Structures are given as C-alpha cells and as structure tokens.
Amino acid sequence: MAIVGKNCYDIFSRKSVNFVIIITNMNNTKTVLLVVVVALVVSLIGAKIFSSSTGSSEDLLAKVLDKGEIRIGYVINPPSLIKDPNTGQLSGIYYDAVEQLGKNLDLKINWAEETGWGTMVEGLDAGRYDMVVGGIWPSATRSKRANFSVPLYFSTVGVYTRPGDNRFSDLKRINNKDITITAVDGEMSSIIANTSFPNAKLLSLPQDTQLSQLLLNVKTGKADLTFVEKIVAEEFLANNPGSIQNIVPNNPIRSFGNTIVIPKNQSGFEAMINTTIGELVNSGVADELIKKYEKYPGSFYPVAKPYSLTR
C-alpha cells in the first residue's frame, strides 16, 4: 500500500485543498506512476487557473528595480503624447513628465511600444510594457482590467454639434435612435456614448483615428454630435472657424484626471509611480509642462494643491 498526498487548487471553491490517493496494489508500477502523474497535472492546471483568475503574482516593482528601467506603452494623444510624423521623435506633456519621473527614480525610461485605445491593456496584460502613457482617462469599464495613477492634470469633455443645432438643450434628447453620435473605438467618446446614450446610433471609427475626424464627421453632417476635450475642438476650430459649437461650455459632460495605466495587483509599483507624480505636481513641474504644451489657454486644469496658506 502507498499513500500519495498532494495540494492543489479547487477551481470550483477557489480554495487550496489537499487530496490523498491510497494505492492498494503496489505490484503494478505503471499504475502507481500514472496516479502520481495525474495528481501533478491536476495540481498544475489548478495553479494555472488560479494565476489567471487573480492576476500575475510577479512583483513588478522588484523586476523594474532589478533591470533598472521602466518599459512604456504609449498612445499618441497630442499634446499629452506627440509623435513627429517625419522623425518619429516623441514629445508632449506626458513624455516630458515620464522622462523626469525616470530621472527622479534613477531609472531608464524605455519607450517600448506604441499602442491604441482599445489594445493598450492587452499589451499590459501580456507583459510587453510596464505601464501605459498618453494622458489616459480612468473609467469603470477600464478599471476592471487595470489600475490608474493619480492625475498629473485634468481635462474636460464637451458636447459638439453644428452651429445653430439647438435640439439638445436637454441632453436626454441625445438618447434617441434618430440621433447619430460619432466616436472612436475604445476611446472615451465611445464609452460616453455607450454608457450615457445607448439608444442613439453610433458611427464608430477605428482606434487609430485622429480625434479631429470626429469633429469633421459632425461638420459634414455624417453625425449629429460627438464628445471631445476642449484642446481637440480648439485646434479644429483654428482650421475650420465657426464649424462646430460646444453646447455645454459651462457644464462639461465629463471631467477626467489624466493618468498612467498600471497593471492590477502591483501595489508596490503603483505606490512608487504615484509618489513620483506627486513630486512632479507639488514641485511645479506639471504646471510648467502644461504652460509649455497648452496651445490654447484654459484647455487643461492643474491638480489642486493639498493645502492653502492664510496670513
């Protein structure tokens, strides 16, 4: 007689359990080996399922510190992240901020991979980069798969229609099957459309589409409206004067912190990034970067100081 004991993961109870197999016929060596192999396979499968259901247990902070670099996935999103079409050189508020973040941490910044709104978390999950940069806005949908840093600055989102279109003094009227919203797949415009106005028609564009195309769709009548931040609209209006209007100038439909996307279950790495962003904000670096890249004053809003001085 032999007793084989093994610890494994029960996929139904989601608990680690012990099991015991009693082998009564020790004369059959093949049977004994088969039972042991089956036990090991069951244990490995359970461990794999457990790992997939709870996220990677790898310590990203330790890995980054050991290698001395942070690998960056980035979304082109001017002026947060700008890419020169001729040279490929990157710049922008978040480019400069992350380069300074690396200096503060004495870590190399490796701009590893350009990604898109709809695929940025996939690359993070696959381990191709350690965080995603580009002035990313948090949302409930995105938070299911990733965490977000504290914001470096804030943006607001307007509702843009053609001039003279006064149908939407009550925004609830947008949620109608006769209204067409244009949005970019995976970008915040599509999230707003799907969550707040699910009954409206959606004219979707590929995730690598420039956001100015949304405003062009409105201008040319392909769509009734769209949702973009102020700086995108201001740039469009500079080239197309009087072609669109923001119908909620004093009451934005959304306001967002511009953040960095961080993997789930990496509290040490997340704390390091948040602490360093806090340094950039409190030292005035973030304000200087906004002034450097904010072509249209009032497009962005700084993070409020955590204190006020009285005399």
Query: For residue 71, which phi and psi values (nearest 5 degrees)?
Result: -90, 130
Domain ranges across the chain = 2-54, 56-305
CATH topology of domain 56-305: D-Maltodextrin-Binding Protein; domain 2 (3.40.190)
Per-residue pLDDT band for 311 (boundaries 50, 70, 90) equals confident
Q: Which residues pair with 110 in a beta bridge?
A: 71
Q: Let me know if 62 is exposed, middle or buried by CB neighbors in 10 A (0-12, 13-18, 19+).
A: exposed
pTM over 0.75: no
More confident of the two residues 200 and 44: 200
pLDDT digits (tens, 9 = 90+) for 69-120: 999 999 999 999 999 999 999 999 999 999 999 999 999 999 999 999 889 9
CB 276 within 8 A of CB 288: no
Average pLDDT, integer, range 25-29: 56
Residue 26's pLDDT is 52
In whole angstroms, give the CA distance from residue 58 to residue 123: 16
pLDDT digits (tens, 9 = 90+) for 143-196: 999 999 999 999 999 999 999 999 999 999 999 999 999 999 988 899 999 999
Q: Let me know if 232 is exposed, middle or buried by CB neighbors in 10 A (0-12, 13-18, 19+).
A: buried
How many Cβ atoms sit within 10 Å of the Cβ of residue 37?
Answer: 10
In the chain, % of residues over pLDDT 70: 82
pLDDT digits (tens, 9 = 90+) for 218-240: 999 999 999 999 999 999 999 99
Q: Which amino acid is at 137?
A: W
